[in-house]
Structure 1
Amino acid sequence: MSGNQSNTSEDHCDFDDSLIFTLVPPYILVISVVLGIIFNVFVLMVFCLHKKACTVAEIYLSNLAGADLALVCCLPFWAENVRKGYDWPFSESLCKVTSAVIYMNAFCSIYFLVMVSIDRYVALVHPLSHERIRRPFYAKLGCLFVWVFGLVFALPIFIYRKLKFNPQSNLTHCSLNFTSDQYLAYEVITITFSFIIPVIIILFCTVKIIQALRKRLMEALNIQKTDQKATTLILAVLLAFLICWVPFHVTKILDVLQSTGILKCHITLIIAQQISTYFAFFNSVLNPILYVLVGKTFQKRARELFMLWNKNQTASFSRLSTRLTSFKFDQSSN
């Protein structure tokens, strides 16, 4: 996503893009408009409109839903770009903004998962000594730091994304205006900070969390139900992240090796890049589904919010009926 999405057709290997132009646009529209936007708006409504304040884990998960929502809102523009054969039909400003937003929110999503995995690690492995830092204020401060960090990392995308007309293909590409050295340095930094470092932290925390849970079960220690429910949901979200994003970053690493000449271009790599990119996008749809299926506390919040909404609707309908009845009575009296 941070590289030349629009330049697939200009790879050194010959590749028939017709299947991509046919299948990818409807796929992107389904996961973005039909699923991604609706599901993530629902998650944000449950977290933000509920009377009870969010826990630390829920603050991170609500910000994750916000990042996923912003990401999928930009995907329809890329669907249209792919449908037109990578001929960008919009302005250069939109090219810059949508690319930067996609990159920024993909980056933020990863680090919100890092934050939530650290929170579970502290809650289960060091429950007493680190209780002070597990407060909503610090969680909100951490989320603000992640958003700022993501914005900084998205700046090169905003600055260097430009529209370039290719006279050979008669197409206008929305692509990164990097030299080969700049591209290599940028990809190495991106892979390091958006994949290697966060995955190491997530795997370390996950292993420690699982070990702590097993130890408590073996020692017959009681685990608070709220901690157990939150941990189950977060482990499911972390697993979904690894399944969806690891293939994408692995293909990015192979692409960097190819650009340096260490690996030769192969049709399999191009196909893998396409599949892994759009599979990574699906993670933004999968997260809300996991909240509903696995998150017991989220299910409870959603039911309570629905009941409150239903109660308000019933009360509003009752008041309206009373007013209509009174109006009809006054009319008949006159």
Structure 2
Amino acid sequence: MVVLIVPVNFSKNGTIASTCSNSTEAWVYSALSGYIFTIAVLGIVFNLLVLMVFCLHKKPCTVAEIYLSNLAAADLILMSVLPFWGINTLKGFNWPFGNALCKLVNISLNMNVYCNIYFLVMVSIDRFMALVQPLSHERIRRPKYAKLCCLLVWCFGLLLSIPVLVYREGTLFHYQNEAIPVCQLSYPDDMIKLLCEGMLPVFGFLIPIPILSYCTWKIIQALNNRLTELSSTQKTEHKATTLILAVLLAFLICWVPFHIIKIMQLLLYAKIVGGCTFNNVLGISGQIFTYLAYFNSVLNPILYVIVGKTFRKKVREVFKLSVGRKTMTSSFNSTRTFQLRSTECVSR
């Protein structure tokens, strides 16, 4: 048996201020780390495939595809740093990588939360303009503006992750005469803790969700009203919109429980609710819903293939182009070899 402290409150002098302990079987750590490594490998492979298709295809990306490719890039970054947390979990939440990687890994994780939701906000607004008000916003829906919006989302995600850079520490803490290496948020006082912890539910959930809900409602209304009289261009927009709605639904299923837990943690930090039972249940639920949220990065590329007819077409075209290049290269090498041999025979 090992003891899992959920959550642990560390003081600035390196001691544990207060704990609520519950016994956890050692196999839980192995099972959880196995799950983390599995989704990390799948996520890296799938999102690399998505980025390769968008980058190698002969046609330039549409506005929606620019946002989706950046979403895939954010998911790829998350999946690339997730194995570090898998090793941390396997070691019973003892962080073996030092302070620098503690900050880098957690900034990457934190940025993914913000970038995921705001890339979906951008693509939802684009679908809203394409279907609900296509004429009045035609000039705005251009790739150069989409790329600028993506740059702003990345910068915004980095800006909101500054508290992680400042307060996340990989260091040793002392508990029962034992030095424990941890990667832990360590705030100087409760007010800063509430402000920093409140940023994620506010900017990552409470602000963007109403925007997403409004755009989605208007999009569905527009599709229902004009489904029977769509032109060929509008049918293409409809296919892209179906994919976006599927990605949005997957996001809500995976991320809403995570944000609800974060809001409940804020109530715990504000001492509105408390008690060891609530503390432990919240800690265990937080672990479950966090890794459910991370599974969304694996689910997105699968949805592109299952729902996205245009994406499947691009995959086939990229594959044919790759095979064609290999065939041309092989034919060229064979012809060159034949010519060289013929020249040798003539010279003899």
Instruction: Determine if the TM-score, normalized by the shorter chain, exceeds 0.5.
Output: yes
Which SS does the other structure have where 2:207 is aligned? Answer: helix
TM-score, structure 2 normalization: 0.89
Equivalent of residue 70 in structure 1, options 52, 66, 77 = 77
**Does residue 170 in structure 1 map to residue 179 in structure 2?**
yes
Task: Report 1:1-334 matches (<5 A).
Answer: 8=6, 10=8, 12-17=19-24, 18-32=26-40, 34-168=41-175, 169-178=178-187, 179-217=189-227, 220-223=228-231, 224-265=234-275, 266=278, 267-329=280-342, 334=348
Q: CA separation in 2, counterparts of 1:143 and 1:88?
A: 33
Q: CA separation in 2, counterparts of 1:167 and 1:174?
A: 13
Query: What displacement does 1:55 show?
Result: 0.5
Q: CA separation in 2, counterparts of 1:20 and 1:107?
A: 29
Query: What displacement does 1:152 show?
Result: 0.6
Query: What displacement does 1:180 show?
Result: 2.4
Q: CA separation in 1, counterparts of 2:255 and 2:332?
A: 51
Q: CA separation in 2, counterparts of 1:147 and 1:305?
A: 28
Which SS does the other structure have where 1:110 is aligned? Answer: helix
Instruction: Provide Cα deviations, 1:255-298, integer angstroms capped at 9, x if missing partner.
Output: 11122222234243222111100000001111111111111111
Larger fraction in strand? 2
Q: CA separation in 2, counterparts of 1:298 and 1:7?
A: 45
Q: What root-mean-square deviation, in Å, do the aligned CA atoms of Structure 1 and Structure 2 show? A: 1.8
Q: CA separation in 2, counterparts of 1:86 and 1:320?
A: 55
In the comparison of the two structures, how many residue pairs are matched? Answer: 326
Unaligned runs of 5+ in 1: 1-5
* Aligned position for 2:14: none
Q: CA separation in 2, counterparts of 1:16 and 1:70?
A: 33
Amino acid at match of 1:115: M
Q: CA separation in 1, counterparts of 2:225 and 2:141?
A: 22
Q: CA separation in 1, counterparts of 2:22 and 2:190?
A: 22
TM-score, structure 1 normalization: 0.93
Instruction: Provide Cα deviations, 1:8-27, integer angstroms capped at 9, x if missing partner.
Output: 45274323343441111111
Unaligned runs of 5+ in 2: 10-18
Q: Percent identity?
A: 52
Instruction: Provide Cα deviations, 1:36-88, integer angstroms capped at 9, x if missing partner.
Output: 11111110011111110111100000000011111111101111111111111
Q: CA separation in 2, counterparts of 1:13 and 1:327?
A: 78
Q: CA separation in 1, counterparts of 2:81 and 2:168?
A: 15
Q: CA separation in 1, counterparts of 2:27 and 2:121?
A: 36
Query: What displacement does 1:171 show?
Result: 1.0
